[in-house]
Amino acid sequence: MRVVLLIAALLALVSMAWLQAVWLGRLDPKQLLGPWYILAVASRAKDFMVEKDMRNVEGVVVTLTPDNRLRVQSSRHGPDGCHQSIVELLKQDSRWVFENPSLGILDYRVLGTNFKDYAVIFTQLEFGDEVFNTVELYSRTEIASHQAMKLFTKWSQGLGFLSQQQAQLQKDFTCAHKILQ
């Protein structure tokens, strides 16, 4: 009896994951466009655990170029104050997967979103000989909803991030506001 219940539970989990992947595959990437705050991050970068307590909220503006590239403009706090950057990501075969290997961005995708308030973003990066993943919580507001934080935590833990590899960013909006005005 326990074996039957275990198999049924595993099949339900696989079915739910497959349905969610199919569901996200039909979304329109244009729904990601606009201004966002990055309020939480999970990362396997080698310096993340040392730096995570000093990281502030970041600002991101996502646009679509005329040639259908996803343009991500960000502003984050760095050693010399606010640092702004712009990256353009090329669409892979899937409508929700983008990349720019020449910049070290191997995979950029939306894991979950409610379309208007939050998005959980997965990125696989490669810098030199270091390859690592991040999960970020994008929010349209300065405070994430309970639902958004719950989904961020669920994805982070589900992808194997340890608690020390996760952080809610400090509520300093100085650099975020430079780009989101």
Give tens-digit pLDDT for 64-86. Answer: 999 889 999 999 998 889 999 99
pLDDT at residue 23, rounded to an integer:
39
pLDDT at residue 14, rounded to an integer:
35
- Can you read off the two tokens belonging to residue 141? 């507001």
pLDDT at residue 71, rounded to an integer:
96
Amino acid residing at 83: H
CA 87 to chain CA mean position, Å: 15
pLDDT at residue 10, rounded to an integer:
36
Per CATH, the number for 30-180 is 2.40.128.20
pLDDT at residue 181, rounded to an integer:
79
Which of the residues in the chain have pLDDT under 70? Answer: 1-29, 94-95
Q: 121 Cβ partners below 8 Å, 6+ apart?
A: 108, 109, 110, 111, 135, 136, 137, 138
pLDDT at residue 11, rounded to an integer:
36
State the pTM of this model: 0.84
Whether the CB-CB separation of 107 and 2 falls below 8 Å is answered with no
Give tens-digit pLDDT for 7-23. Answer: 333 333 333 333 333 33
Number of H helices, E strands in the chain: 4, 9
pLDDT at residue 117, rounded to an integer:
94
